[in-house]
Chains A and B, each alone.
Chain A
Amino acid sequence: MTRVFVSRDSTALSLGAEQVAQSLQQLADTKGLDIEIVRNGSRGMFWLEPLVEVETSTGRVAYGPVQPEDLATLVEAGFLDGKQHVLSLGNIEEHPFFKYQNRLTFARVGLTDPVNLEDYLAHDGYRGLKNALALQPVDIVKHVTDSGLRGRGGAAFPTGIKWNTVMNAPAEQKYIVCNADEGDSGTFSDRMIMEGDPFVLIEGMTIAGLAVGATQGYIYLRIEYPHAKIALNQAIEAAYQHGYLGENIQGSGKTFHLEVRSGAGAYICGEETSLLESLEGKRGLVRFKPPLPAIVGLFGKPTIVNNVISLASIPVILDKGGEYYRDYGMGRSRGTLPLQLAGNIKHSGLFEAAFGMTLREILYDYGGGSASGRPIRAVQVGGPLGAYLHEGQFDTPLDYEAFAAIACVLGHGGIVVHDDTVNMSEMARYAMEFCVEESCGKCTPCRIGSTRGVEVIDRIVGNEQKQKNTELLRDLCDTMLCGSLCAMGGMTPYPVLSALNHFPEDFGLPTAKA
């Protein structure tokens, strides 16, 4: 029996992986080939998807991108024995894009069968939970604090401090909420974890529950991710069946229940307080802070709200210790960040690296430059609320503080590349338009400011009192920045102002000084 891996990741599926798996099975049935097709996660090298890997006596051998019509020649060439073919890629883990990553959170993604618990256990799964069950809550939190982990959702708040607050908040009921409303364009790391290694998220949430004394967890998942929902529910069911969720986890006397809840297509519900409102069954309106969700969270109880990647980073920290994780990274940005390369980029995909690499390295050395072959002009980092960087800023290291120093954000690690055909006044206008579409409406600067923002940009581009309207746009951005309740209105000025400052010629304004 030869094991053949064909991904079940959304991106692989969107490029035809399902047809490849089905055609391969049909071919195997007709030809009597003794194979087992394993539906794994994605290695994160999307330009090679659908990727097919074959387990041979000398290790895994990869082929890609494979279309159904390639299968006959692959079989003929002897791919089930790892033989050469025009689509041969060798051992994918030796590929330069893969080899130089620091895969801590994504260690198993693409390697294992995502919903097979035995496979998870065979690849170091649940070792973090085992350690956590032998520790006191305060010691679990200490590992997280020592690791230097900061929230990977974008705000970069120290995770250990948040956990400590919830741990010390007295209450008969506490909650762990996973923010799986990854709505930023250019980001897909949450999706890849949930589809490619859902157990690691479940394990991370269970450890969080033990650390703060919470017995109920919710994964608030965006409706745009149907495949993630299927994988999560399959893994949750397996975890319940084998005593990794529910009452008396692994005979410890501890309890943790977990459920997936679907969002309904509102970007604002990625903001933690809107998310809590939505989980409670209401409109996703932002809440005033304080009180913090750590004190008054879901249903009024102390709640940890963490991003998928933050929680999925917990198992390795509890397995290998906080110091092991902290030893990756630079300055106050510790550990690794799964970078997501998207938009007009040749080698699109996921690259998990320790903080500190420069944007230029990731764009050119690993990303291979633009997909169109034209010069890269503007790169938006950190989602639709992140600033646009120009060529002169590409040597900035990927580090929270270094980005903040140039009025940019790392956010969730999404990198969207635009070539020189982009019109940056259109991108600025779109940023305002997106805010109009997605504002929850609770505060005026965000609700009204974004609508006025679209109009003012139209007037600038339409040559109507150019100077006066440019000043007005800056003034409006200042009001939104300082006066909005949350990051939606508060950060929409980032893409707008960066476009205006770095690419004024696209607004018909004098060119910026180099």
Chain B
Amino acid sequence: MQDYQSQKPIVLDILASHRTMPGNLLPILHGIQDTLGYIPPAAVEDIAKDLSLSKAEVHGVISFYHYFRTTPPGKHTIRICRAESCQAMNSKALEQHAKQTLGIDFHQTTTDEQFSLEAVYCLGNCGCSPSITIDDQVHGRVTPEKFDRLVASCKGNKS
């Protein structure tokens, strides 16, 4: 994991640029996660100090929302929809396949740090279930075979 001292200036910059924004904590957390890939636990103190909140309050917000994470993600984040529409189109089998193929459970990252697996509850892509996202790309009608192709093409993409 990266040393927080090198990340600190980025966090302080994000704090400074949101100073006058009403209700700024979520936008700040998004800003940090968008830039660093996660919210370093050590950043909580700086955020709390800047917003005159307790560390517990900041931590409480981070842990309340499913989207925020406090550990670095793999190179690609795969989110599998677990909601009813996808279940009606056999998403459970897809979930099993994904966990088995990647060798990880939800909220885990592969040992080669290539993939993180997350559960998501509805991508609004229910018209072609089951759905997943890989990073910001949505994919519909995902069969186990299509899943394997998508994963393989991520591995091929070294950039």
**What residues of chain A have their CB less than 8 Å away from a CB belonging to chain B?**
10-11, 13-15, 46, 49, 182-188, 190-191, 223-227, 261-267, 278-284, 299, 340-344, 348-350, 371, 380, 384, 414, 416-419, 422, 427, 430, 434, 437-438
A384–B125 contact, CB under 8 A? no
A191 to B122 CA separation, bound complex (whole angstroms): 12
**What residues of chain B have their CB less than 8 Å away from a CB belonging to chain A?**
22-27, 29-30, 51, 57, 60-61, 64-68, 83-89, 120-129, 131, 133, 136-141
A342 to B27 CA separation, bound complex (whole angstroms): 32
Q: Which residues of A contact B83 (CB under 8 A)?
A: 185-186, 384, 434
For the complex formed, measure the closest distance between the CB of B65 and the CB atoms of chain A, giving whole angstroms: 3
For the complex formed, measure the closest distance between the CB of A492 and the CB atoms of chain B, giving whole angstroms: 13
Q: Which residues of B contact A187 (CB under 8 A)?
A: 122, 124, 126
A348–B126 contact, CB under 8 A? yes
A14–B131 contact, CB under 8 A? yes
B125–A186 contact, CB under 8 A? no
A166 to B4 CA separation, bound complex (whole angstroms): 47
A191 to B126 CA separation, bound complex (whole angstroms): 11
Q: Which residues of B contact A417 (CB under 8 A)?
A: 88
Q: A285: nearest residue on chain B (CB-CB)?
A: B64
- 22 A-B interface contacts by CB (under 8 A): A10-B125, A13-B137, A14-B128, A14-B137, A49-B128, A182-B124, A184-B122, A188-B124, A223-B67, A226-B136, A261-B27, A264-B65, A264-B66, A264-B68, A266-B64, A279-B26, A281-B24, A283-B60, A343-B89, A344-B88, A416-B126, A438-B121
Q: Which residues of B contact A263 (CB under 8 A)?
A: 26, 65, 67
A265–B128 contact, CB under 8 A? no
B23–A418 contact, CB under 8 A? no
Q: Which residues of A contact B23 (CB under 8 A)?
A: 261, 279-281, 299
Given contacts A14-B131, A280-B23, A384-B83, contact A265 B65 (CB under 8 A): yes
A343–B123 contact, CB under 8 A? no
Q: A185: nearest residue on chain B (CB-CB)?
A: B83
Q: A380: nearest residue on chain B (CB-CB)?
A: B84
Q: Which residues of B contact A264 (CB under 8 A)?
A: 26, 29-30, 65-68
Q: A266: nearest residue on chain B (CB-CB)?
A: B65
Q: B131: nearest residue on chain A (CB-CB)?
A: A14
For the complex formed, measure the closest distance between the CB of A394 and the CB atoms of chain B, giving whole angstroms: 17
Q: Which of A224, A261, A299 contacts B122 (CB 8 A)?
A: A224
B124–A427 contact, CB under 8 A? no
Q: Which residues of A contact B27 (CB under 8 A)?
A: 261-262
A282–B125 contact, CB under 8 A? no
A185 to B131 CA separation, bound complex (whole angstroms): 12
A265 to B118 CA separation, bound complex (whole angstroms): 12
A265–B84 contact, CB under 8 A? no
For the complex formed, measure the closest distance between the CB of A484 and the CB atoms of chain B, giving whole angstroms: 18
A279 to B24 CA separation, bound complex (whole angstroms): 8
Given contacts A14-B139, A185-B122, contact A416 B61 (CB under 8 A): no
Q: Which of A11, A182, A262, A427 contacts B84 (CB 8 A)?
A: A427
Q: Which residues of B contact A280 (CB under 8 A)?
A: 22-23
Residue picked from B27, B89, B120, B137, most chain A C-beta under 10 Å: B89
For the complex formed, measure the closest distance between the CB of B90 and the CB atoms of chain A, giving whole angstroms: 9
Given contacts A262-B30, A418-B88, contact A282 B61 (CB under 8 A): yes
Q: Which residues of A contact B131 (CB under 8 A)?
A: 14
Q: B92: nearest residue on chain A (CB-CB)?
A: A426
Q: Which residues of A contact B141 (CB under 8 A)?
A: 15
A6 to B30 CA separation, bound complex (whole angstroms): 31
Given contacts A46-B127, A299-B23, A348-B128, contact A430 B84 (CB under 8 A): yes
B61–A343 contact, CB under 8 A? no
A95 to B139 CA separation, bound complex (whole angstroms): 26
Q: Which of B51, B88, B128 contacts A416 (CB 8 A)?
A: B88
A436 to B64 CA separation, bound complex (whole angstroms): 13
Q: Which residues of B contact A437 (CB under 8 A)?
A: 121
Q: Which residues of B contact A184 (CB under 8 A)?
A: 122
For the complex formed, measure the closest distance between the CB of A191 and the CB atoms of chain B, giving whole angstroms: 4
Q: Which residues of A contact B122 (CB under 8 A)?
A: 183-185, 187, 224
A66 to B15 CA separation, bound complex (whole angstroms): 46
For the complex formed, measure the closest distance between the CB of B91 and the CB atoms of chain A, giving whole angstroms: 11
Q: B24: nearest residue on chain A (CB-CB)?
A: A281
A265–B85 contact, CB under 8 A? no
Q: Which residues of A contact B64 (CB under 8 A)?
A: 266, 283-284
Q: Which residues of B contact A225 (CB under 8 A)?
A: 124
Q: Which residues of A contact B140 (CB under 8 A)?
A: 11, 14-15
Q: Which residues of B contact A418 (CB under 8 A)?
A: 88
Q: Which of A227, A265, A299, A422 contacts B22 (CB 8 A)?
A: A299
Q: Which of A13, A284, A414 contacts B138 (CB 8 A)?
A: A13
Q: A189: nearest residue on chain B (CB-CB)?
A: B124
A434 to B120 CA separation, bound complex (whole angstroms): 11
For the complex formed, measure the closest distance between the CB of B111 and the CB atoms of chain A, giving whole angstroms: 26
A229 to B75 CA separation, bound complex (whole angstroms): 23
Q: Which residues of B contact A224 (CB under 8 A)?
A: 120, 122-124, 133
Q: Which residues of B contact A299 (CB under 8 A)?
A: 22-23
Q: Which residues of B contact A380 (CB under 8 A)?
A: 84
Q: Which residues of B contact A226 (CB under 8 A)?
A: 136
